[in-house]
Copies of this chain bind each other. A is one copy, B any other.
Amino acid sequence: MNAEVNRILQKVLKRITPTREQRKRVEQLARRLQEKVSQTAREMGVTAEVRVEGSVAKDTWLSEEPEIDIFMQIPPELPREMLGNVCLKVAKKAVEGAKQVERFAEHPYLEAFVDNVRINIVPCYRVKKGEWKSATDRTPYHTEYVKKRLNEKLRGEVRLLKRFMKGIGVYGAEIKVGGFSGYLCELLVISYGSFIGVLENFAEWKGKTVIDLERYYEKREDELQLMFPDPLVVVDPVDAGRNVAAAVRREKIAEFVAASRAFLEKPDEKFFYPPPIEPFNPKQIRVELRNRGSTLLFLTFGKVDAVSDVLWGQLYRTQKALRALLETHDFHVLRTSAWSDENELNVLVFELEQATLPPVKRHLGPPLAKRRECKKFVDKYLGSERTVCGPFVEDSRWVVEVRREVVDAAEFLREKLRDGGRTVGVAGKISDVLKEGFKVLLNEEVSDVYSWNREFARFLTGFLTGRPWWLERG
C-alpha cells in the first residue's frame, strides 16, 4: 500500500473510530437500555433475555453514527404473534417519551431515538443454531462469530469499508438502498484481511464471486452454484443454507466494483465523504430540462401508508412495472428512478427518448405456412380503420401498417393509472393512493415541485447528471 493511500486511510480512521468518551457514552446508553427493556418485559410478564447486538456489541460502529441494537430473545415455544406485537409493546413502553418509528423487516420492530442515538429494539427467538424460527434469530450467533475473529486492527478495516460504502451509496440492507449490510462488511474484511484487500478483490470482478469462510461447500462447488444463483455469494458461517449477500442488488455490487477501481486508481478522501450535491437553481433546471433533448416524465403522488421498507419495495416494483408498460408500447425508456420523502410526496421519474411516438407502425402477422391464421389476419386488417397500408406479404409472412393506438406517453399513463393501475402492475398500497389522485408532469412542468422541495431538487440534479459523483477521468 502506498503512502498516499495510507495517509488517507489513517485520516479517515481517526474520524470514524470512536474516542474513549464516545465509546463510554454509547456503551453506557446501551447497557441502560438493555436493563430498561429487560425490566419492562418482566413487568409486562414477558419472558425475554435482552442483549446488546450489532455494531456496538462487535465494536465496529462508526463514531459519527452510533446505532444501538437491542435484541429481545424469547423462548421458541411462544407463538409467532408474540414476536411481533407483544415485543413491540414492551419496546414502546421501555422507550416511552423518545421519538419512535415502527419498522418492519420480516416482522415488526421498533426504531427510537434516545439522546440523539438511533436505537433498534428487535425481537427474536432464542433457538439452537440451525433451528431458526425467524429471520433475526441468527443475529446473536453472527455477533459471536464476528467478535471471535476481529481484532482491533480488523475492526478499523471494517469501519473503513462501511464508511467507504456509505460514501458511495451502497451501504445498508434496507430496501431503499438494497446494499451491503454491516455483517456482510465484516465477513468481507475477515475473508480478504483488509479494507484495501476487499477493494482489490472487487476491482477484479468477473461476474461471480463466492466466499465460503467455513468451507461448507468444499468439493461441492456444483451444489453451491445450484443453491445460490446470485452474482455475489457469501455463505453465512452460522447457516450454510443462507447467502448473506442475497439481498444486495446487482447494481449496488456493480457500483461498488466501479468505485473500488476508481479509488485504487486515484485514491481520495472524498470517496468516504461525498461532497453535497448543489442543486441547479430553478432557472437553471428549466433551461436544462428544455435543452436536454430527451423527455422527463414524472409521476407524483401523495402519502403512502407504509413503513419505509414496504414503501420502497412498492415504489421499485411500480417503477419496474411502468417501465415495462411503456416499453411494450414502443416507448424507449432511457432511465428510471424513484424518490420519496417517505411522508407526503413520492415521485417516479422516467426519462424517455420521446414523449410522443410516430403515428404509424408495422404490425407482423402470421407466417404463410399457417393458412387459417393468415385468413383471419387478412380479414381483420382489410376491414380495419386502423390499417394505413397493406396487408402485404414480406419475408413469407403477412404484415400490415397500422395506426398506433398509443402515441402519447403522458396521456397513456394518466389513462392506465386512473383506476389505480393494479392491472398494469402498480403495487397495492400505491395503487390505493393513485385512485385518490396523482399527477403526470413533463419536463418543466415539474418546476413547482422542484422549487419548494430542496431534497427533491438535489435528487433531480443528480439524476440529470446521471453519473456517480466520484467518477473522474482516469
Q: What is A's interface to B at a CB cutoff of 8 Å?
A: 203-207, 231, 250-251, 253-255, 257-258, 261, 265, 292-294, 332, 334-335, 351, 353-354, 358-362, 367-369, 371, 374-375, 378-379, 382-383, 388-396, 398, 401, 403, 464-468, 471-474
Contacts and interface: CB of A to CB of B under 8 A. Distances in A.
B466 A392 contact: yes
Nearest to A250: B396
B360 A292 contact: yes
22 contacts: A207-B367, A251-B394, A251-B395, A254-B368, A254-B394, A254-B395, A254-B396, A258-B398, A261-B374, A293-B358, A293-B359, A294-B359, A294-B401, A334-B362, A334-B401, A353-B358, A378-B473, A378-B474, A389-B464, A389-B465, A391-B467, A393-B468
Contacts of A203: 371
A287 to B, nearest CB: 14
Contact of A393 (B255, B396, B403): B255
Contacts of A371: 203-204, 261
Contacts of A231: 396
Given A261-B371, A368-B254, A392 B467 contact: yes
Nearest to A293: B359
A50 B398 CA distance: 47
Contacts of A265: 375
Contacts of A354: 358
Given A353-B358, A368-B205, A393 B254 contact: yes
Contacts of A206: 369
Given A369-B206, A389-B467, A360 B250 contact: no
